[in-house]
Structure 1
């Protein structure tokens, strides 16, 4: 195999694929990236057996071939090469080494046979539909913070993607919850998605997808079955296994009778919660909200540190109420509000609270209160 490729093109693709590779691997081949040169393309593939990322790049291929090389080492070398340099890659089957040349730099890297590299076959993917990248980015960005990290409840370790109806309108809905908070975001159902099964996309796949979406402005093709999902962005493909489990009936925890409505400036609210929570030393960093028609008081107390209070102007006309929250959860949700105000719908001090973004009807958050 022999080819030349621009350093910037190679570096971008390596940054996409190498993050899938685990730093510690008991199977040596899984530490490697597969390089396949053919025609005028170089294809890079990385996998951890649950996720595979494949990206094809334009390259000047003078001799086709394939090999595998340590992903993180290869990425670090290319990252440290001078800007604008041309990278020449030559693989010799006789000594099983990949020679990398760029300017005055030269490296010889140990390789493992391409035949040992596992192929992750997606199998039949009967459901297929396009989705604009910005819509998929919104579904992912606004829900992933609520994904559970508790491994015993593995079915909560991802985003539940499914078709649903909202006021009779078909929607593609993404839901994540860790039992303390819930994020539900929806967008109009794309053509071809009506028959899709409800699937749980794993946390690691969600994180990789978010990185790939950051650099994408085009349309994404989504194909899925009950067990696998594939996202295609032009020359970049992400294939992943899905979580084999049943997502809970989340609609049951979304309250319908919350009649106390508070509107508050979202940025001022976030800043105030952050300041007041500084005094709170326990793990939950609890903050108490006292709502009255004349205003909102945020407070926190600590036996060791003392106490803190802050007043905010709000729009609120219901009976006074006191309710406590984990400040980190409050900040996570407030950070997703893109409109000027956040709207809180409450019932009492123990009932789940709904948080809405008046600027985006497709977004809903549920937050469990705590005793303070």
Structure 2
């Protein structure tokens, strides 16, 4: 690896020779860098050729998207989009075409169009009667109802990644486009003169909604852990009933003593849990409230954020469990836009 520093003395003519410095310390310690395209995962042209361990993906920008497809067995990816404005069909067509174009360009730039684009599935939900000017609260409710009819499997087919199907960004979040969001495509396309730096243009925007958000904290109607816990509790109760039926000759005193002991232990555990929950709740209340009202909530996280459409594919990768919309170090409270700027008033 050779690192040369070139410079020209101020005032010298442009055709004067460059002076070159060759720092020996850097020369002896510099290591060759493998181009991203040379990484083994970038040679994969099908899902079957992808590795099944996260560490083997290196710097692949879609490592979690790829591995979650292998782990859950669900190969379709991409967000569900809600159309909530119906005043201009032509503008809506422009918006949707631009969104798909931005997604394609991003995949091409990152070297993943051949592998991932065949599985990209845009689901656009349109219904003028129920969704025209629908609020984010109404869309969240509709999205949960829509999911309940999709026959999504509860468990993954493999354990390559710690994710269950309902936790995929495709089923946890949806995109919301109202008139204010739709109008942003006008300024974006007007300013776009073919520049490579589209992130610096006036942003084309959508809102992304977390279906589990409520004013009192997250509630997941499809919570797998809760379902398994309830099932486990039912199994234990059934086992205890069977055991009790087989031990009818046990003395009443022993039964009463055991019940009292269990009741005392249960009361102690409940008391400890309540104290812990109260402490956590007090800390959360002090930290989380006191912001300007949005959709009737003064919490820092209001269950949705604005996002720039140029990075819709990067958003999908980001939301794979590591950082949700409630991560204040990553996402901003409206009216700020992820990754830059603010929504026009």
TM-score band by shorter chain is under 0.3
- Report the structure number with the largest CA radius of gyration: 2
Structure number with greater CO (CA < 8 Å, separation at least 6) is 2
TM-score between both structures, scaled by the size of structure 1: 0.19
Structure showing the higher helix proportion among its residues: 2
TM-score by length of 2: 0.20
